[in-house]
Structure 1
Amino acid sequence: MNVQFKKGALELLVLLIINNNDQYGYSLIQIIAKKIAISEGTIYPLLRRLVKEGYLNSYYEPSREGPSRKYYAITVKGNERLKKLTEEWNMFTESINSFMKESDIHDKG
């Protein structure tokens, strides 16, 4: 998958997943990696930025498998950001899909 496509969608994906359930960094990587190839190096800087911008809060929870885990929860501001990104994504994909429907690229191959 195109790296730029992933980069543009990752913030939306992270907010969508955390909106459903609080997550820790590695759990996010596992969830996303089931459908899209990503590396740890892309998630943790994004989480730090989302906390810094007030879209997420973080807290620690004990783990049965080792040290406490840092969980992330969406904030009210994060929910507003998620709604905005979702609207923008829908407008963007509808526009791209309309071009794809108008194109005869599938008939030329």
Structure 2
Amino acid sequence: MADSTNQVQLKKGALELCVLALLARGESYAYEIASTLSAGVGMGEGTIYPLMRRMQDDGLVDTRLEESNSGPSRKYYRLTAAGRAAFTAQKREWRSFSDAVDRLLGDSK
């Protein structure tokens, strides 16, 4: 049980960074982001929508609506200047943290 809880907490901690990384590659809509994260790190769709709303409220992303031939309009997200700056800062922090953990773990693979 503890292993599962630890993994969920690790994923939640890295989720915003992962979303910023995906959006740094280009704009996307929430379901596409959720699908990519689900396939890549096993994060569920339900965690994406509140995060996207918070990132929008924080000024990290802008949105636009686009009509869809196959259903309702899609809300596309793209990074703002603040979002790009946050991505750069968080990526630097992640790498520093990851390097420190790797040093502590040593060769105990």
**Which protein shows a greater Rg?**
1
Query: Of 83, 91, 101, which residue of structure 2 is paired with 1:96?
Result: 101
2:23 pairs with 1:18: yes
In structure 1, the gaps of 5 or more residues are none
CA offsets, 1:17-74, max 9 Å, x none?
0110101110001111112112222000000000000000011011121111001010
CA offsets, 1:58-106, max 9 Å, x none?
110111211110010100000000011001000000000001116x4x4
Query: Of 33, 36, 51, which residue of structure 1 is paired with 2:56?
Result: 51
Distance 1:15 1:61 in 2: 21
Aligned to 1:35, the other structure's residue is in SS state helix
Distance 2:41 2:21 in 1: 15
Please list every run of at least 4 consecutive aligned residues from structure 1 whose deviation after the TM superposition is greater than 4 angstroms.
none
When normalised by structure 2's length, the TM-score is 0.90
Mapped contact 2:17–2:87 kept (Cα < 8 A): yes
2:81 pairs with 1:67: no
CA RMSD, 1 decimal = 1.2
When normalised by structure 1's length, the TM-score is 0.90
Distance 1:92 1:31 in 2: 24
In structure 2, the gaps of 5 or more residues are none
